[in-house]
Structure 1
Amino acid sequence: MSPLTEVRYGWTQGTAPSGSPPADPAPLPTAAPDTSGIQLDGADYTILGVVGAIALAALVFAFVLRREVLAAGQGSARMQEIARAVQEGAAAYLNRQFKTLGVFAGIVFLLLFALPAETLAQNVGRSVFFLLGAAFSAAIGYLGMWLSTRANLRVAAAANDPASGRGTAMRVAFRTGGVVGMTTIGLGLLGATLVVLVYAGEAPRVLEGFGFGAALLAMFMRVGGGIFTKAADVGADLVGKVEQNIPEDDPRNAATIADNVGDNVGDCAGMAADLFESYAVTLVASLILGTAAFGTKGLLFPLIVPAIGVVTAVLGVYITKARTGESALTAINRSFYISAGISGVLCALAAVLYLPGSFAELGGISPQLRDQPGSPALIALVSVIIGILLAVVILKITGYFTSTEHRPVRDVGRSSMTGSATVILTGISVGFESAVYTALVIAAAVYGAFLLSGSLAVALFAVALAGCGLLTTVGVIVAMDTFGPVADNAQGIAEMSGEFEGPGAAVLTELDAVGNTTKAITKGIAIATAVLAATALFGSYRDAINTALAEIGGTLARQEFSVYAPNVLVGVAIGAAVVFLFSGLAINAVSRAAGAVVYEVRRQFSSKPGIMDGTERPEYGRVVDICTRDSLRELATPGLLAVLAPIAVGFGLGVGSLAGYLAGAIAAGTLMAIFLANSGGSWDNAKKLVEDGYHGGKGSEAHSATVTGDTVGDPFKDTAGPAINPLLKVMNLVSVLVAPAVVTFAVGPTASPVARITIAVLATAVIVTAVVVSKRRSTAITDDNAEDEGKVPNGAV
């Protein structure tokens, strides 16, 4: 087959050999850009030094904010006792989870050595930085949990103090998130900078391991924490609110401590790790594609952009303050807009000052790219602005569909007047509709960046740079997200202590409702980041295949990748199906764990009559143990599915089917994640609306209907939905890592059909076994001791 030439909308072939019919054009070139020879000069090392110093400064600023948060008042002895119980439960859960995940990470570390790499140094570095990425992800998750379980007490105390009140409570909650946000961007930027300093042109391949470690740990923390928190929340609501007609955080409910623990291990630890891996994976994709598109400057510019984000994040955290009579959400949104706007201006200046005006001035790129028209500076500038604008637009869309101030949530609240069924239907319709608009906006951003260049390599880098632009807002985004569970926990501590009335309780109710909206907004932005990173990783997948083909001198026929080819369409269908299966497994896991919680709380109410009149203390620890046990038990199946499904498809059906698999997963995952997050957010805030006195208020039939909606929405928005983000990136990174092996076993002199099929069969067998074992556990809400014929044990209601 003759050499290939890249064109704007696909691949075409050069002149066929004389006397032979035109060969079927191949979709991939037979050689990939060689970036291993890229050398850094003194100016480059200076830039890396400045970026590294900014990363360290972010960590120092996080420490300063941490001291400020911990210096706030801690309230009464009763409040401190409740907070200690939450702290102990959260720490015990994460410690057990990390022990479980440590074994898994060790196995993956060893398996990475078995995958082919261009040099031994790359192989060792990829495996070592896999552990570093996993360790950073775990550390950020643990920090988010540790600080949030201490800040919730301080937010409650500030809200109940007339001398401080709403302003101080809001500041402590937001700056708690600021600590986690600055640590996230500091460690992410520091890790990527260290790899570039050590490996230079080989850095992108080593960073694959760093991103994979971060994404894998984040997915496990998201799934495990989400199962824990929603099992406790659903169980507490079903027995406490619906059956016993007591408030959400009433201390008589044995699930209340577990519920508050879950907010921290799910939302704080899980989301912090999730956004860190989004940060790391987007940088990985940008650096891989940047070296091919822009040479040395493409290796460094993706680090400059998030470094600017560190500066604007500091500003965004410090200026967040509600004015007199102003909603807390308005104040938070204003800070986000200001920091995003400043990021856009500074990134534009960086692009103009650092990047040249023509491709001919770039070093370390292929001759074909050097001769193309266009301005690297302008392409980078517009790409980054697209990413920043995408974050702003998603904030507006998600806020509209999940805030109590707008029509969608108010419609869900009004539907409660006609019962639970209409609440469910209205919330589902909100989720479906919002998913369409958000997906279209994300698609427009991706396509807008893609249109900036006539070269596919540069266009993919533009998409990655849009992701980098969105990363400039991550510090404030993490602060917004952590704000939600901290405010929720603060209200829980206040209610359990029984010491709050009047203004203090009203402040916490307002902050809790605002937190629900900020959590939904950050989930939307996290989904957009996942899509941009996954799309950019397509370019990395293509590059990995090119490199493998060049090494063995092989080619692939066009039909291997054509969208109308059955093998690609089969891959698309399988990729979409995996997203649905993953979501179903996560929601079923919550159902099973919540069932155990329901029966335990019922058992305690029936066997200890003194609980209701306050003469006996519930056994909070038993519910925490149930949630811990069940959430860790349920981790294995979703994790194996995410890691092994791309391996089964790639080795079994080929690289074209695997490309289709990734496309189907991204498309279905985008819509599914937005639908789940926004449906759940609308149900949650509709419940808050009724509890504020609308449609009959607390204790009414409408309230009961919205509680049911919120119970359905909890695993939607806090378990399955958010876990799809790291799922997409894990599957993409696994595909990038195994692509050379797939090509090696399928094409050229090293082809081995027996080995290829054996690997696919083994991976499929493990997935099937894990799913079968998982499905053997009952999905009904029943006690573990209940008999199959459905007898209700222990006098349960």
Structure 2
Amino acid sequence: MLDLGSSSVTIVVVIGVIALASLAVAYTLRRQVLEAAEGTTKMQEIAQAVQEGASAYLSRQFRTLAIFAVVVFGLLFLLPGDAGIRVGRSVAFLFGACFSAAIGYLGMWLATRANLRVAAAATKPGGRTEGARIAFRTGGVVGMSVVGLGLLGAAVVVLIFQGDAPSVLEGFGFGAALLAMFMRVGGGIFTKAADVGADLVGKVEQGIPEDDPRNAATIADNVGDNVGDCAGMAADLFESYAVTLVAALILGKAVMGEKGLVFPLIVTAVGAFVAVIGVLITRVRGTENGLRAIYRGFYISALVGAVLAAVAAFVYLPDSFAGLGGTADLTGVTADPRIVASLAVVVGVVLAGVILWLTGYFTGTTSKPTLHVAATSRTGAATVVLSGIGVGFESAVYTAGVVAAAILAAFLLAGGSVWLALFLVALAGCGLLTTVGVIVAMDTFGPVSDNAQGIYEMAVGTDSENPEAAEDNDAAQTLTDLDAVGNTTKAITKGIAIATAVLAATALFGSYADAVGRALADDKVDVGGLGSIVSSMLSYEIISPVTLVGVILGAATVFLFSGLAIDAVTRAAGAIVYEVRRQFRDHPGIMTFDERPEYGKVVDICTRDSLRELATPGLLAACAPIAVGFGLGVGPLAGFLAGAIAAGVLMAVFLANSGGAWDNAKKIVEDGNHGGKGSEAHAATVIGDTVGDPFKDTAGPAINPLIKVMNLVSLLIAPAVVMLSAGHDANHVLRIGIACVAAIVAFGAIIMSRLRASRADEAELAEAEAQDARDAEPEVTRVP
């Protein structure tokens, strides 16, 4: 076991204090947000309904996920290894899961109160500046909490377990990633089912505005923004933070010994200062474009982060890798650790900046790709969908190329040393995450401003037939502008989250190889003395057919996971469409404002369906690597991870940017272009937007935690796979049995999902036939 020196212990303690200070800053920002005015009584009533719906959903979701957490907590004890490590890893798993859940709940809780305050600010002079400030500082609270809890968890584990901390932190990262994936999938199904149902019935069929209070799905739509975009994304970025730290500490210990164990913590601690700077300097000046102000705050804070990380590297690290005590073979490496570490952090920061620009280009309301998608609305919904798909495919190639270039840069900095290159990839991820506080603030800005527009529209009204309508055009335009900015920031943060996921997964790939190597050494396995089949199971050569099978299965899992998520939204949205149609049909007074829609019923349907559907993708993510690893071996499992990373980055960017382009194309038409609201072009873009909703807010973002969950599961089971396949306790019957059980669980969940789909189709057919029968009934004319 590696024991930390007194100076390193002091540094880790200081980092823990910085973590606590970050939480104190979050509390201060929270208080500033809550001090803002709350608007009219009507606004407060609507906001209250959203708050209650979001809290009820997350509470029920956490009760469901607690079962998974308890089961996994017990299973972690069964893994081979030292008893103290197993206990620490299991406890760390619970803390990672609880921290991820807490971050998600905090994001939801504050966003459902900030939306009301942004809507109220828009009705006053200077409302644009004040509304943007409230929305961004709301995200700042969550961002500082991500930094604080992530640093605190890592620092405490390092202080307690010291050299064994990376093994314990595997559990911390796994808990954070597992909860984030479930929250992403469940929240994504909820929000997009409500959104699609509201748009299809409200906008397309009834011709009423998006957030018209007569639409029974509006409250559920606003609830979904908070449980999906706020809670889900906050948990997603927290687990990215935790998982990247885990990979960096594992590889850092192998490459640099004690210095490598502490330096990644120093880099991420820099992120606390960067987050404070970014939140405080991001201000919309007068009529300035809100996106420009956010970009300015991001780039300035990112530059500060790169400089501070470089200073830390030159102060803390030596000028040579010789004598650092790492276990990796660095023979022939003559580079200066201070220089390569600083440049690796710069690579991560530059990667974030490039992806910010690239995603903004493909999804922004003033960029050529989105303007092109909007222009295709003149020829119908089909061309809108096709052009959006084209934008998504093209943007995925460029984004994947940029991420690949960052990984290649790390390899070149390492002078060809694979282990050092993997550590530098992890440091690049840490460098990217120095901006995580600002990234979370950017993401939360989107749903808060979107909710604010919805609350204003429902409270004030936009329909001329509403006798209470008294729309303030300036306030409405302010909120529309903020919402458009929010759409772009959400797309940007999804792109950055994807890049973070790929860097973390690549670094975890190296951690997996380290775990396999240690397991082979512990069991004293002589690969050359094994049979040809078992030797192939341990081989990483891509030319090996069985390893190539693993690559194919990894890529296929990403496609299957995405399909399950989108299919779940389709079923839930269908139920919402029928419910909203029923309310309009059975209660004609809704359209004349004489009857109030039953908002609660739609919220209940979304809650029920999303909680029912989230288990299938989650079980697939957890069980697929277990089935491949125990069934085929550690070599094919490495191929499985490679295939999942490669397919995952392309699929996630494609889904996110297609959806973002469709969303903002709709905004362009609604601003009066190509016929404006109510035109055929508008109807076409609404269809495109509804197709893009599950793309960008359900399946796409959920791929980020998916690939990290599969990497962490593989990392955790690697020693057991080696032990059962080639170690002294080799037991091929047990190994195959575990693989079969995992495969049965995964495919059993998929079969159950198919059965639910069949039942949903039958119910929809019965509803459609009943509606046709009602429409065919002759009208009865009463004779006086």
Counterpart CA distance in 2 for 1:78 and 1:372 is 67
Query: Number of aligned pairs?
Result: 758
Counterpart CA distance in 2 for 1:406 and 1:222 is 29
Counterpart CA distance in 1 for 2:754 and 2:328 is 55
Q: Give the structure 2 partner of residue 347 of structure 1.
A: 309
CA contact (8 A) 2:644 2:707 kept: yes
Q: Give the structure 2 partner of residue 132 of structure 1.
A: 95
Q: Give the structure 1 partner of residue 389 of structure 2.
A: 428
Amino acid at match of 2:288: E
Alpha carbons of structure 1 residues 408 and 789: separation in structure 2 relative to 1, 3 Å: closer
CA contact (8 A) 1:592 1:779 kept: no
Counterpart CA distance in 1 for 2:438 and 2:310 is 20
Q: Give the structure 2 partner of residue 194 of structure 1.
A: 156
Of 178-187 and 747-756, the range deviating more from structure 2: 747-756
Q: Give the structure 1 partner of residue 359 of structure 2.
A: 398
Amino acid at match of 1:673: A
Give ranges in structure 1 of 5+ residues lacking alignment. Answer: 1-35
Amino acid at match of 1:495: E
Amino acid at match of 1:128: V
- State the Cα deviation string for residues 121-178 of structure 1 (Å, max 9, x = none): 110000000000000000000000000000000000001112x411100000000000
Amino acid at match of 2:104: G
Of 38-47 and 183-192, the range deviating more from structure 2: 38-47
Equivalent of residue 489 in structure 1, options 436, 451, 454: 451
Q: Give the structure 2 partner of residue 62 of structure 1.
A: 26
- Determine helix, strand or coil for the equivalent of 1:114: coil
Question: Does 1:511 pair with 2:475?
Answer: no
Amino acid at match of 2:315: L
CA contact (8 A) 2:129 2:286 kept: no
Q: Give the structure 2 partner of residue 105 of structure 1.
A: 69
Question: Does 1:258 pair with 2:217?
Answer: no
Correspondences of 1:133-282 after superposition (within 5 Å): 133-162=96-125, 164-282=126-244
- State the Cα deviation string for residues 693-724 of structure 1 (Å, max 9, x = none): 00000000000000000000000000000000
Counterpart CA distance in 1 for 2:565 and 2:557 is 12
Counterpart CA distance in 2 for 1:61 and 1:757 is 52
Counterpart CA distance in 1 for 2:412 and 2:553 is 29
Amino acid at match of 1:349: V
CA contact (8 A) 1:602 1:796 kept: no
How far has the Cα of 1:792 moved from its partner? 4.3
Q: Give the structure 1 partner of residue 541 of structure 2.
A: 562
- State the Cα deviation string for residues 165-203 of structure 1 (Å, max 9, x = none): 111000000000000000011100110001000000000
Q: Give the structure 2 partner of residue 8 of structure 1.
A: none
CA contact (8 A) 1:160 1:500 kept: no
How far has the Cα of 1:352 moved from its partner? 1.1
Counterpart CA distance in 2 for 1:93 and 1:727 is 22
CA contact (8 A) 1:534 1:729 kept: yes
- Determine helix, strand or coil for the equivalent of 1:727: helix
Alpha carbons of structure 1 residues 309 and 325: separation in structure 2 relative to 1, 3 Å: same
Question: Does 1:701 pair with 2:665?
Answer: no
Equivalent of residue 386 in structure 1, options 347, 350, 371: 347
- State the Cα deviation string for residues 74-126 of structure 1 (Å, max 9, x = none): 00000000000000000000000000000110000000000112x21110000
Question: Does 1:42 pair with 2:6?
Answer: yes
CA contact (8 A) 2:255 2:328 kept: no
Equivalent of residue 595 in structure 2, options 616, 633, 636: 616
Amino acid at match of 1:649: V
Q: Give the structure 1 partner of residue 464 of structure 2.
A: none
CA contact (8 A) 2:328 2:419 kept: no
Question: Does 1:740 pair with 2:740?
Answer: no
Q: Give the structure 2 partner of residue 120 of structure 1.
A: 83
Question: Does 1:313 pair with 2:275?
Answer: yes
- State the Cα deviation string for residues 734-788 of structure 1 (Å, max 9, x = none): 0000000000010033111101111111111111111111011237985847439
- State the Cα deviation string for residues 325-346 of structure 1 (Å, max 9, x = none): 3100000000000000111111
Q: Give the structure 2 partner of residue 688 of structure 1.
A: 667
- Determine helix, strand or coil for the equivalent of 1:369: coil
- Determine helix, strand or coil for the equivalent of 1:563: coil
How far has the Cα of 1:322 moved from its partner? 1.6
Amino acid at match of 2:153: G
Question: Does 1:755 pair with 2:719?
Answer: no
Counterpart CA distance in 1 for 2:328 and 2:612 is 54
CA contact (8 A) 1:592 1:780 kept: no
Alpha carbons of structure 1 residues 305 and 98: separation in structure 2 relative to 1, 3 Å: same
Question: Does 1:597 pair with 2:576?
Answer: yes
Amino acid at match of 1:442: V
Counterpart CA distance in 1 for 2:357 and 2:752 is 42
CA contact (8 A) 2:411 2:417 kept: no
CA contact (8 A) 2:377 2:682 kept: yes
- Determine helix, strand or coil for the equivalent of 2:542: coil
Amino acid at match of 1:228: F
| TM-score, normalised relative to structure 1 | 0.93
- Determine helix, strand or coil for the equivalent of 1:472: helix
CA contact (8 A) 2:254 2:328 kept: no
Alpha carbons of structure 1 residues 789 and 146: separation in structure 2 relative to 1, 3 Å: closer
- State the Cα deviation string for residues 492-514 of structure 1 (Å, max 9, x = none): 00000125421111100000000
Amino acid at match of 1:774: S
Q: Give the structure 2 partner of residue 501 of structure 1.
A: 472
Amino acid at match of 1:138: A
How far has the Cα of 1:361 moved from its partner? 4.5
Alpha carbons of structure 1 residues 671 and 121: separation in structure 2 relative to 1, 3 Å: same
Q: Give the structure 2 partner of residue 525 of structure 1.
A: 496
How far has the Cα of 1:349 moved from its partner? 0.9
Counterpart CA distance in 1 for 2:289 and 2:767 is 52
CA contact (8 A) 1:229 1:259 kept: yes
CA contact (8 A) 1:491 1:505 kept: yes
- Determine helix, strand or coil for the equivalent of 1:473: helix
Question: Does 1:546 pair with 2:509?
Answer: no
CA contact (8 A) 1:263 1:485 kept: yes
- Determine helix, strand or coil for the equivalent of 1:451: helix
Alpha carbons of structure 1 residues 793 and 757: separation in structure 2 relative to 1, 3 Å: farther
Correspondences of 1:326-475 after superposition (within 5 Å): 326-362=288-324, 364-366=325-327, 368-369=329-330, 372-453=333-414, 454-475=416-437
What percent identity do the matched residue pairs reach?
68
How far has the Cα of 1:324 moved from its partner? 2.9
Of 548-557 and 77-86, the range deviating more from structure 2: 548-557
Alpha carbons of structure 1 residues 368 and 400: separation in structure 2 relative to 1, 3 Å: closer
How far has the Cα of 1:396 moved from its partner? 0.5
Give ranges in structure 2 of 5+ residues lacking alignment. Answer: 461-469, 529-534, 777-784
Alpha carbons of structure 1 residues 157 and 367: separation in structure 2 relative to 1, 3 Å: closer
Counterpart CA distance in 2 for 1:274 and 1:446 is 22
Counterpart CA distance in 1 for 2:628 and 2:47 is 47
Amino acid at match of 1:385: V
Amino acid at match of 2:515: A
Counterpart CA distance in 1 for 2:333 and 2:484 is 52
Q: Give the structure 2 partner of residue 669 of structure 1.
A: 648
Of 49-58 and 704-713, the range deviating more from structure 2: 49-58
Equivalent of residue 638 in structure 1, options 610, 617, 625: 617
Counterpart CA distance in 1 for 2:764 and 2:679 is 34
Alpha carbons of structure 1 residues 779 and 426: separation in structure 2 relative to 1, 3 Å: farther
CA contact (8 A) 1:574 1:664 kept: yes
CA contact (8 A) 1:56 1:186 kept: yes
Of 305-314 and 219-228, the range deviating more from structure 2: 305-314
| TM-score, normalised relative to structure 2 | 0.95
Equivalent of residue 87 in structure 1, options 47, 51, 60: 51
